[in-house]
Structure 1
C-alpha cells in the first residue's frame, strides 16, 4: 500500500505510542474495522415494534397461500 508521507508518519507515531510495529498497528486496526463493517452488514436490527411483529409471526404463522404451496410442491418434485 502506498501511503502519503504525512499519513504514514501519523500511523508510525500512533504505533510507537502503543509500542508496536507499524505493520501490527495497521493490521490490528484494519481487522477491527473489517469486523465492524461485516457485523453491520450481516446483522438485522429491529426496533421494539418490529421485534414484536416478528415474534408474533413465529408464534402464529400465517397459513400458506397458493404461491407458497405451489413452490413447496415444485421443490418436492425436484428431489
Structure 2
C-alpha cells in the first residue's frame, strides 16, 4: 500500500500535458508521474555508480580496456545492418 505522500506544484499547461500522456497510456496522473520519476531516478543513480580498485586491480582493469578486441562476427553483422529509421543522406 502506498502511503508516502509526494506533493508538487505545476503550471496548468504542465498538468494538462501530464494528464494527456497518462491518459494515452491508460494510467492516472499519480501512477504516470510516479513511474516517470522512478525511471528518471534509476537512470540518474545508474549513471553515478562508483567502484574502487586498488592499484593492482586498476592496472588489470586498464589493461583489459586497452587490449585489442577479439573478432566478433555477430557484432560485426549487427553493426553492418542499416537501422530502419536511418535515412539516406
Q: Taking structure 1 as the reference length, what is the TM-score of the superposition? A: 0.56
Q: Which runs of 5+ in 1 are unaligned?
A: 45-50, 57-79
Task: Please name the residue that 2:45 is paired with.
Answer: 38
Q: Which has the higher helix share?
A: 1
SS at match of 1:42: coil
Task: Please name the residue that 2:33 is paired with.
Answer: 26
Output the CA distance in 1 between the equivalents of 2:39 and 2:50: 16
Task: Give aligned pairs, total.
Answer: 50
Q: Which runs of 5+ in 2 are unaligned?
A: 1-7, 52-57, 64-89
Q: Taking structure 2 as the reference length, what is the TM-score of the superposition? A: 0.50
Structure 1 runs, 4 residues or longer, greater than 6 Å off: none
> Which has more radius of gyration?
1
